[in-house]
């Protein structure tokens, strides 16, 4: 009742959708674009009966709010945490300095810190028979703002897969996590688990000698990371096989771009590549390590050969399943 009375008195508009209630984004009277990245703070340890009529005035008292989001349960109670996005980095810093460990009420001290802006989720417990197309279709039906989906062999369980999902924003990833944890992803197997992607697991997947089973990207940046290549196969042989595969599926000749982005003291060079296959949905990009030698093959040729080999594997799996 106090919240409703406050909303009526102030004229503030709160919009509730997908388990959260939002103020602003932008607020009334805002001029210009959104604030720069890094201006959002995370608020935790909130009592479940505290609402915007208390929280918004408190967080407005230290700086100009661009947006405030309170996470809600099905019953309408807050979930104990919220996000406040400020107009500037200075305002966000002031909020943390002033309100971290602030005693909201007797015996209730809140936490205020920088929002981590996580954007990647991992789905564990997928069966070995789950296909890329099936997973993509389900995810696009129940989540929004997805950037890429990469399917891997599960390094901890045989005959199982896991998927790494990357979203365009932390908010989109958080909403997707909530929707997926509620059991909306039905792929014929119980025990599917969804969580934020752990940095150690991410590193383990990147360092794994096995490439992802398949990779789908909306926008063109692939998560697939090939293993380092010292002795590349013949560029002409790989390109011949790749061109043949493209012709068989009515695709045009691939166009390659390569660029050296890192040189190590031991001589290894890291190359970025992007391959556009006219007729295929998205560009495919990634990285490969090259060790220069004296066999007459230039470093860019070796990077192109490694990229072609990777693209050949991705297309073989993708086109073979379609």
pLDDT in tens, 98-126: 999 999 988 899 999 988 778 899 888 88
Is this model's pTM higher than 0.75 or not?
A: no
pLDDT at 210: 43
Question: Residue 75's closest CA among 19, 120, 36?
Answer: 19
- What CATH class is the domain 2-114? alpha beta
Distance, in Å, from the CA atom of 62 to the CA atom of 43, rounded to the nearest integer, reads 14
Instruction: Provide the CATH topology of domain 235-321.
Output: Double Stranded RNA Binding Domain (3.30.160)
Q: For residue 184, what pLDDT band results from cuts at 50, 70 and 90?
A: low
Least confident span in 70-74, 170-174, 185-189: 185-189
The single-letter DSSP state of residue 32 is S
pLDDT at 227: 40
Distance, in Å, from the CA atom of 163 to the CA atom of 169, rounded to the nearest integer, reads 18
pLDDT at 111: 93
Regarding predicted confidence, which is higher, 15 or 245? 15
Provide, rounded to the nearest whole percent, the portion of the chain with pLDDT above 70. Answer: 82
pLDDT at residue 217 tops 70: no
- Average pLDDT over every residue of 72-86: 88
Least confident span in 85-99, 185-199, 210-224, 246-260: 210-224
- Average pLDDT over every residue of 84-109: 94
Average pLDDT, rounded, for the chain: 80
pLDDT at 296: 53
In sequence order, what E strands does 119-264 have? 120-127, 146-153, 160-167, 193-196, 214-217, 255-263
pLDDT in tens, 121-160: 988 888 778 877 788 888 888 888 888 888 887 766 666 7
The token pair at 37 is: 């990245």
Q: Phi and psi (nearest 5°) for 139?
A: -65, -40
What is residue 305's three-state secondary structure?
Answer: helix
235-321 and 120-217 share a CATH fold: no
pLDDT at residue 322 tops 80: no
Hey, where are the domains in the chain?
2-114, 120-217, 235-321
- Average pLDDT over every residue of 160-183: 84
Task: Provide the CA 163 distance to its chain's centre, in angstroms.
Answer: 12
The token pair at 202 is: 């991410």
* CATH architecture assigned to 120-217: 2-Layer Sandwich (3.30)
pLDDT at 66: 95
Q: For residue 263, what pLDDT band results from cuts at 50, 70 and 90?
A: confident
pLDDT in tens, 60-75: 999 999 999 999 887 7
């Amino acid at each position: 009742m106090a919240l409703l009375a406050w909303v009526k008195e102030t004229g503030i508009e709160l919009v509730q959708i997908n388990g959260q209630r939002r103020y602003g984004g932008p607020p009334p009277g805002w001029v210009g674009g959104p604030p720069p990245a890094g201006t959002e703070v995370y608020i935790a340890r909130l009592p479940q009966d505290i609402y915007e009529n208390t929280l918004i005035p408190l967080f407005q008292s230290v700086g100009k709010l661009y947006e405030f989001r309170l996470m809600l349960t099905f019953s309408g109670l807050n979930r104990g945490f919220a996000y406040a996005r400020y107009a500037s980095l200075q305002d966000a810093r002031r909020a943390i300095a002033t309100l971290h460990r602030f005693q909201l009420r007797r015996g209730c001290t809140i936490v205020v810190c920088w929002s981590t802006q996580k954007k990647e989720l991992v789905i564990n417990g997928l069966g070995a028979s789950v296909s890329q197309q099936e997973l993509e279709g389900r995810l696009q039906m129940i989540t929004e703002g997805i950037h890429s989906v990469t399917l891997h062999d599960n390094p901890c369980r045989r005959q199982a897969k896991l998927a790494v999902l990357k979203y365009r924003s932390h908010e989109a990833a958080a909403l997707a996590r909530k929707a997926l944890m509620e059991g909306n992803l039905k792929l014929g197997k119980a025990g599917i688990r969804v969580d934020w992607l752990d940095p150690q697991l991410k590193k383990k997947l990147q360092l794994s000698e096995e490439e992802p089973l398949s990779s789908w990207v909306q926008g063109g940046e692939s998560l697939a990371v090939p293993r380092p290549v010292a002795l590349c196969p013949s560029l002409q042989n790989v390109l011949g096989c790749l061109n043949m595969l493209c012709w068989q599926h009515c695709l045009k000749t691939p166009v390659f771009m390569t660029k050296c982005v890192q040189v190590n003291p031991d001589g290894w060079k890291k190359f970025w590549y992007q391959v556009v296959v006219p007729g295929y949905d998205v560009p495919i990009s990634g990285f490969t390590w090259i060790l220069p030698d004296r066999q007459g093959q230039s470093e860019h040729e070796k990077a192109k050969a490694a990229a072609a080999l990777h693209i050949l594997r991705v297309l073989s799996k993708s086109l073979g399943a379609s």
